[in-house]
Structure 1
Amino acid sequence: MNLLMITRKVDRLDSHAGHTHRWVQALAQEVARTHGHLSVLCLQQGDVSGLPENVSVHSLGKERGVSRLRRWGRFPAAAWPLVARSHAVFCHQNPEYALAVWPIAKLLGRRVVAWYVHGTVTWKTRLMAHLVDAVLTASPESFRVHSRKVRVTGHGIDLDMFRPQPRQPDGQFRIVSVGRISPTKDYETLIQAVAVLRKAGLAGVICEIVGGPGLPQHQEYFESLRSMTQRLGLKDAVRFPGPVANERVAAHYQRADVMVNLSGTGSVDKAGLEAMACGLPLVTSNAAFRTLVPSDLLVVPNNPQLLADALRRVQGWDVLQRRALGERLRAAVARDHSLPALAVKIVAACRGGSTSAV
């Protein structure tokens, strides 16, 4: 089967889109079972080293400074021959890709399958659901347009990359939170919880907030977090290492004691699953994780005291408790969210086969 994938960026070292590189690898491996080829049309291309021989990447030129208007102007001419030599089109995340390619695909008689993971519903997501042949999503909360076309597939977590590593105790209680720095992540509650822990006498707490502003307008929010850290006297306790390439973020999970995810999107967050795959306890206010983590690690949003109480419980666990939970969390990711399994489901949907319906 020949498949066309449309995505924003393919770059092995990118902090936000680095996982897409591994998705391309997994899909290429799956279509290779029938001697197929994977074409990837992206807005921007970075480091694409390590991709299989049956992959070709075609960029619309953002990395060369091509403007947004010119990129979309180039889209039909770039997409037509790629659609023509593919059996189906897989559109990754942005509804605009599916809306843009749909007329070409329908003229050529090709299936269009979309992937979308976000709680927000717009006219674009509704129209996408109406037009495409199938919508794949990670969890029921990740796509909130009711349609018989929606299929829940789980996320695609690379279990070889995100795996447990033993850590020698160093007297520190290490908290990590990974993701784009934006108001929906509620990092201020995490910082205030660290202050509560320090005030309660937990002097060895270290918190890493890994990531950078997701959009230019989020820079002000980032600066407010840094100011809060200074104001609360937590300069030595709360650290901002900045954006980290996705292939290197596993090391941040592996040297931590607990992951905190306070995302307000309402959908299963990929970073939380990556941490779980590393055997890391996850404390979260995200209700989408309610079937994945113990109830005493689910906290009320915007409540630093309750978050601090949950972190203190984790800090008090012994090695056996931590190991047992870590094994259960990794097993849950392996069962429902592994990358190879997702690649199989994507290709099956593109062929017209069924996956589990919502």
Structure 2
Amino acid sequence: MRILITTQKVDKDDDVLGFFHNWIIKLAPHFSEVHVIALSVGKHDLPKNVHVYSLGKRRGDSGYLKTLRYIVRFYKYLFMLSGKYDAVFSHMNPEYIILAGWYWRLSDKKVFLWYNHKKGGLRLRFASLFSHKIFYTSPSAFTSRYKKSEKMPVGVDTELCKDIEVKREKNSLLSLGRISPVKNVEVIIEALSLLNKEGISFTSYIYGDPTDKDLSYYKEVLQGSENLTEEGALTFNKGVPYEKTPRIYSAYEIFINATPSGSFDKTILEAINCGMIPVICNEAFGKDFPKELLFTEGDSKDLKNKLEKLFNKNAEEKKELQKYLREHILKEHSLDDLILLLSDEIRS
């Protein structure tokens, strides 16, 4: 069977979307041909049966004229690839299905959409009309309401994301990922400020970059954390290539994620597999997630209290907590499990 994949970016060095490069590698053996159309293409090293086509987007590109060019290129590739694929898998971008769903339906192609955000909207509703099946990971995702939807594993690359033996800094905090309003980085900053005001000893590190549209938010975050950075309690770092994240996860003790319920942020599971203890507000992880590690969404004081209690645990208590997380939260979310289910669904 042959497949067409549409996605936002193919770039193994991208700090946010680099993981999808490994998805393509894992999917390739399940199909005779894999064609990938991406809005942007960077560094990649893929199997011989994978062919990648770029719509030409570069950072900073904007405007209706450039969007029109992307659309024209997309239709050019569709014409060029006519008859060379049997099914379509669109990852997180319903726009592709809006543009070509009618054509794929008329051409008798099965259409599969992966969409895992809490918010939907007209574009998602329209894309769902042309989709045969929709995949999601979070029970709070907008797409979970559809009868044609199916819950899937998150897809943690356990071969890549594993504990590396480096010295782990005690009472060290890490936040890693795109810096944007939906990530509620300001809540994390406020909690760190409360800890610092009480004289509690810790170090914290934020790794990530904003998109062009979130630059003003990023500046606000930097301004709001000036006291922390000046006192050496907080360090900002640029986003790093996906393949280098395991070494970062392995160097720190506690992972903070303030993303609200609705998405199943895989960085949390990656951090767990690299030996970290996460403190989160996302209830999508279910009843098995320890309440002592779950803070109230948007409540920086509650986050501060959860972190302080975690600081007070001894090494053995932290080790037992991390072991529980690996055994009860991480299970059934490996990339291999996801690819097997995904490929079976597409080929069925």
Q: SS at the partner of 1:8?
A: strand
Answering whether residue 213 of structure 2 is matched by residue 220 of structure 1, we say: no
**Deviation string for 1:228-278 (max 9, x for gaps)?**
111456541111102211111222211111001111352211221211221
Counterpart residue identity of residue 100, structure 1: L
Q: 1:327 aligned to 304, 316, 323, which one?
A: 323
Distance (whole Å) between structure 1 residues aligned to residue 133 and residue 143 of structure 2 = 14
Between the aligned partners of 1:79 and 1:150, the Cα distance in structure 2 is 26
* Whole-Å separation in 1 of the counterparts to 2:26 and 2:229: 45
Letter of the structure 2 residue corresponding to residue 15 of structure 1: D
Paired amino acid for 1:103 = W
Q: TM-score, normalised by structure 1?
A: 0.89
Distance in structure 2 (CA, Å) of the matches to 1:166 and 1:313: 26
Q: 2:56 matched to which residue of 1?
A: 61
2:208 corresponds to which residue? 211
**Residue of structure 2 in register with 1:118 after alignment:** 117
- TM-score, normalised to structure 2's length? 0.92
Q: How far apart are residue 320 of structure 1 and its match?
A: 2.7
Cα contact 2:261–2:281 (8 A) shared by 1: no
Distance 1:184 1:24 in 2: 27
Deviation readout 1:107-140 (Å, 9 max, x if unpaired)? 2211000101111110111122222100011122
Tell me whether 1:351 sits opposite 2:347 in the alignment: yes
Return the letter of the residue paired with 1:55. Answer: V
Secondary structure, counterpart of 1:260 in structure 2? strand
Letter in 2 for 1:267: S
Partner SS for 1:249: helix
Indicate if the aligned counterparts of 1:117 and 1:138 stay in contact, CA closer than 8 A: yes
Instruction: Trace 1:132-151 onto structure 2 (pairs within 5 A).
Output: 132-144=131-143, 146-151=145-150
1:335 is paired with a residue whose SS is coil
Superposed counterparts of 1:58-207, under 5 Å: 58-63=53-58, 67-82=66-81, 84-144=83-143, 146-168=145-167, 170=169, 172-203=170-201, 205-207=202-204
Aligned length: 344
Matching residue within 273, 276, 283 for 1:277: 273
Distance 1:46 1:333 in 2: 33
Residue 77 of structure 1 aligns with an amino acid whose one-letter code is K
Q: Residue 35 of structure 2: which of 33, 39, 58 is its match?
A: 39
Root-mean-square deviation (CA, aligned residues, Å) is 2.1
Conservation of the 8 A alpha-carbon contact between 1:113 and 1:349: no
Per the alignment, in what secondary structure is the counterpart of residue 70 of structure 2?
A: helix
- Give the equivalent residue in structure 1 for 2:337: 341
Deviates more, 1:110-119 or 1:256-265: 256-265
The code of the aligned residue for 1:101 comes to A
CA offset at residue 327 of structure 1? Answer: 2.8
Contact 1:210 1:244 in 2 (8 A): yes
Distance 1:194 1:258, change over 3 A: same
Question: By how many angstroms is 1:302 displaced?
Answer: 2.6
Task: Letter of the 2:48 partner, please give it.
Answer: E
Q: Aligned pair in 2 of structure 1 residues 348, 316: CA closer, same or farther (>3 Å)?
A: same
Distance 2:327 2:248 in 1: 20
* Deviation, structure 1 residue 179: 1.7
1:356 corresponding residue in structure 2: none
Residue 289 of structure 1 aligns with which residue? Answer: 285
What amino acid is aligned across from residue 199 of structure 2 in structure 1? G
In 1, Cα distance between equivalents of 2:337 and 2:229: 46
Equivalence for 2:304: 308
CA contact 1:290–1:298 (8 Å) conserved in 2? no
Unmatched 5+ stretches in structure 2 = none
CA deviations over 1:147-189 (Å, ceiling 9, x no partner): 210000121110111112344355x421001121112222222
Cα contact 2:228–2:234 (8 A) shared by 1: no
Q: Does residue 259 of structure 1 match 2:255?
A: yes
User: Which amino acid in 1 is paired with 2:9?
Assistant: K
- Distance across 2 between alignment mates of 1:238 and 1:98: 42
Structure-2 residue corresponding to 1:10 = 10
Q: Cα distance, 1:83 vs. partner?
A: 5.1
- Between the aligned partners of 1:24 and 1:54, the Cα distance in structure 2 is 11
What's the secondary structure of 2:81's corresponding residue?
helix
Q: How high is the sequence identity, in percent, across the aligned residues?
A: 29
Is it true that 1:27 corresponds to 2:27 in the alignment? Answer: yes
Q: Distance in 2 between matches of 1:133 and 1:124?
A: 16
- Matched residue of 1:112: which SS? strand
CA shift in 2, pair 1:232/1:343, >3 Å: closer
Q: Per-residue deviation at 1:306?
A: 1.6
How many Å apart are 1:103 and its aligned residue? 2.2
Q: Which runs of 5+ in 1 are unaligned?
A: 353-358
Partner AA of 1:336 in structure 2: E
